[in-house]
Amino acid sequence: MRTPFFLSFLILLLGLISTHAKNHNAPRKELVRTSCAHASYPAICLRTLSSYSGVVTNLSDLAKAGVKVSLSRSKAASNFLAQLKSQSKKEQGAVRDCLELIGNSMDELSQTLSELQKLQSGDFRWHMSNVETWVSAALSNDNTCLDGFKEVEGYIRSDVKRKITNVARVTSNALYLIDLVDHSHGKTADISTGHN
């Protein structure tokens, strides 16, 4: 029996749509791949930003995405720490300090995001220097939290360290992407139009 006309038409249409969707995603994939290639943690960069669901058409969008990922990982880590039943006094102290540090870090990442929004409103250097200050402060708080856990070696649960280490790596990648935005300022390619 012949395939009904409308069915072949539908198959053709679906084929066209999926080809278009693939082509549409190709520049974004390429942007993520090339931008993550020399990040501090390339595999984490690729994994977290390939699955990022927001709009990304250029490096500036990608850097914002990196900060948002860092913010959401920080929040998840903070929730995890908050519900943790500490096994020792030392651990309890490290967790308490860390909650405060991650809280500060989240404030700093929010400031980073709002400064990133302003990059195009003029005075690039001033806003970029604020962005770099805020995100570096966030990273430094993540690392101070990790240092706190070093002193309770043997007591602390390994999943706590793993989660905070991951937050610090994601934040470090965000800082790297921001540096890329800084260095490519004035020569940023926009993949949505293909123009430079």
Ligand X SMILES: *[C@@H]1O[C@H](CO)[C@@H](O)[C@H](O)[C@H]1NC(C)=O
Please tell me the distance from the alpha carbon of residue 123 to that of residue 114, in angstroms, as a whole number. Answer: 14
Stretch that binds ligand X, among 4-12, 54-62, 96-104, 106-114 (CB under 6 A): 54-62
- Which of 10, 55, 76, 82 lies at the binding interface for ligand X (CB under 6 A)? 55
Q: Cβ distance 121 to 90 under 8 Å?
A: no
- Decide if residue 35 touches ligand X (CB under 6 A): no
- Decide if residue 132 touches ligand X (CB under 6 A): no
Q: What is the DSSP letter of 120?
A: G
Q: Which residues contact 186 (CB under 8 A, 6 or more apart)?
A: none
- In the complex with ligand X, which residue's Cβ is closer, 89 or 183? 183
- Decide if residue 190 touches ligand X (CB under 6 A): yes
Angle at CA 124, nearest 5°, toward 129 and 69?
A: 65
Give the closest residue to 116 by CA, choosing from 92, 86, 138. 138
Cα–Cα distance list, 17 to 8, 11, 20, 48, 52 (Å): 14, 10, 5, 26, 22
Which positions from 90 to 129 touch ligand X by CB under 6 A, shown as an x/- string?
------------------------------x---------
Q: How far is the CB of 189 from ligand X (least distance, A)?
A: 9
Structure tokens at 110: 């929010």
- In the complex with ligand X, which residue's Cβ is closer, 132 or 190? 190
- Decide if residue 61 touches ligand X (CB under 6 A): yes
Please tell me the distance from the alpha carbon of residue 35 to that of residue 29, in angstroms, as a whole number. Answer: 10
Q: Cβ distance 105 to 160 under 8 Å?
A: no
- Decide if residue 58 touches ligand X (CB under 6 A): yes
- In the complex with ligand X, which residue's Cβ is closer, 60 or 78? 60
- In the complex with ligand X, which residue's Cβ is closer, 106 or 116? 116
- Which of 40, 57, 72, 165 lies at the binding interface for ligand X (CB under 6 A)? 57
Helices (H) and strands (E) in the chain, counts: 6, 0
Q: How far is the CB of 158 from ligand X (least distance, A)?
A: 39
- The residues binding ligand X (CB under 6 A) are 55, 57-58, 60-61, 120, 188, 190
